[in-house]
Amino acid sequence: MRKSQLTSSAQISILTVDDDPIITTTIKAYFGRSGYDVDIENNPVAAIERVRNGKYDILLLDFLMSPICGDQVVEEIRKFNTDIFIILLTGHKSMAPPVKTIRHLDIQGYYEKDDRFDQLELLVESCVKSIKQLRTIRSYQEDMSRAYMQTIEILRYVVETRDSETRGHSERVSKIAEEIAKEMGLSEKDVTNIKTAGLFHDIGKVGVPDSILLKEGPLTDEEFRQIQKHPAEGEKILSTYSPFRELLPIVRGHHEKLNGRGYPDGLMGDEICIGARVIAVADAFDAMVSNRTYRKGLSIEKTVEEIEKGKGTQFDPAVADVLLAMIERAGKEEFHKAYCSQAEGTEESK
């Protein structure tokens, strides 16, 4: 192998799979001399699990093996890994799978075995170049994602620091909503989305003027219409970041009501996504127990009464019942300590 490959092979891991140990041992020695990290596997079924549990960049895979052939191995691997580069090894060109199969399974090439590895080396080099380009792109995307997340966090911080009475509100809503989602038995993915949406559900308020957001008296109809824009504005802010795509209906819909009298879209019942229905209950609960410029925070007892009253009209009864059961199980005082302690100035539980 050419010496120039010593640099490009750094941090590239290869798994070579063949039911002939001589082949895998030879390939390991050949590519290992040039700095590749090479593992070997002689059982094609075990190779699938090696790829599932390992972090391999390139798979050098024999086509004709027992008990299953290479194309069957690739078919299984592609169900959970679409990133690994795969090169099939064949004893003869006529024994290679059809081009249609190679394209369907996203196989990067095949190599006809011989006494030299020149052609295989070229195929591996081509894979290495693509891998490094992808790493560069992903590194750039990660940098951009971190920068975007920092910006979003700053905006969220700006929203909460503008009004000392709502400071910590998003964290509390996120925490309560996460526990409700877990109690409801929602999927891990849904729980994560709801938790994250809770943190950013009010980010659209960054565009609401202080004269409205901090107003001590009742809002005029026009001022309330300005407030009602914040779910849609929050959706717009988060929509520029693709990983937040699944959060958008949660953030947009967290002020919708089951009876269709919420905003911004007047959705009813199951038209409101489950994440938004969970956030709606958690958001209303924290808002009621927290102090506001226009009123004192309610006691847990009074808040429980209000949640009960809102079932079926404002709140999803199933979601509300889960929260109420959590409060009952923990005890009002303990629940207050666990979830409301940062909402300073609320009435003590009686």
Q: How distant, in Å, are the alpha carbons of 139, 154, 181, 247 from that of 238?
A: 21, 13, 22, 8
pLDDT in tens, 330-348: 998 888 888 876 554 444 4
What pLDDT is stored for residue 96 in this prediction? 66
104 and 37 fall within a common domain: yes
12 and 115 fall within a common domain: yes
178 and 234 fall within a common domain: yes
Which tokens belong to 72?
């069957």
CATH of the domain at 19: 3.40.50.2300
Query: In which region does residue 33 sit, left (phi positive, over 0), alpha (psi from -120 to 50) or beta (all else)?
Result: alpha
d(CA 98, CA 78): 18
Query: Is residue 218 within 8 Å of 294, Cβ to Cβ?
Result: yes
What pLDDT is stored for residue 151 in this prediction? 78
CATH of the domain at 183: 1.10.3210.10
126 and 188 fall within a common domain: no
190 and 328 fall within a common domain: yes
Which tokens belong to 350?
């009686």
Domain count of the fold of the chain: 2
- Between 274-289 and 188-200, two packed helices, what is the crossing angle to 10 degrees? 50
For residue 13, tell me if it sits in a domain.
yes
For residue 211, tell me if it sits in a domain.
yes
For residue 154, tell me if it sits in a domain.
no
What pLDDT is stored for residue 283 in this prediction? 95
Three-class secondary structure assignment of 163-206: CHHHCCHHHHHHHHHHHHHHHCCCCHHHHHHHHHHHHHCCHHHH
Which tokens belong to 46?
């075990």
For residue 346, tell me if it sits in a domain.
no
**φ, ψ dihedrals at 259, nearest 5°:** -85, 5
Contacts of 198 (CB under 8 A, 6+ apart): 170, 173, 174, 175, 176, 177, 178, 279, 282, 283
Which tokens belong to 102?
């190679």
Final residue of a structural domain among 90, 120, 136: 136
What pLDDT is stored for residue 124 in this prediction? 94
Query: Is residue 6 within 8 Å of 31, Cβ to Cβ?
Result: no
267 and 197 fall within a common domain: yes
Active site residue 205: yes
For residue 198, tell me if it sits in a domain.
yes
101 and 224 fall within a common domain: no
For residue 152, tell me if it sits in a domain.
no
d(CA 251, CA 234): 7
Nearest to 36 by CA among 18, 9, 57, 16: 9
What pLDDT is stored for residue 266 in this prediction? 96
What pLDDT is stored for residue 29 in this prediction? 94
Q: How distant, in Å, are the alpha carbons of 71, 99, 111 from that of 94?
A: 15, 12, 12
190 and 47 fall within a common domain: no
174 and 322 fall within a common domain: yes
- Containing structural domain, residue 238: 164-340
What pLDDT is stored for residue 341 in this prediction? 61
310 and 179 fall within a common domain: yes
What pLDDT is stored for residue 214 in this prediction? 78
What pLDDT is stored for residue 10 in this prediction? 59
- pTM equals 0.62
For residue 143, tell me if it sits in a domain.
no
Query: Is residue 298 within 8 Å of 346, Cβ to Cβ?
Result: yes
297 and 169 fall within a common domain: yes
For residue 144, tell me if it sits in a domain.
no
* Residue 112, number of CB atoms within 10 A of its CB: 15
245 and 297 fall within a common domain: yes
Nearest to 194 by CA among 318, 279, 272, 263: 279
User: Catalytic: which of 205, 215, 311, 337?
Assistant: 205
Which tokens belong to 115?
């006494």
Each residue's pLDDT tens digit in the chain (350 positions)? 554 454 455 589 999 999 999 999 999 999 999 889 999 999 999 999 999 999 999 999 999 898 998 989 999 999 999 999 999 998 766 666 677 777 888 888 888 888 788 889 999 999 999 999 888 888 877 787 787 778 777 877 777 776 555 678 899 999 999 999 999 999 999 999 999 999 999 999 988 888 888 787 788 999 999 999 999 999 999 998 888 899 999 999 999 999 999 999 999 999 999 999 999 999 999 999 887 666 677 888 999 999 999 999 999 999 999 999 999 999 988 888 888 765 544 444 33
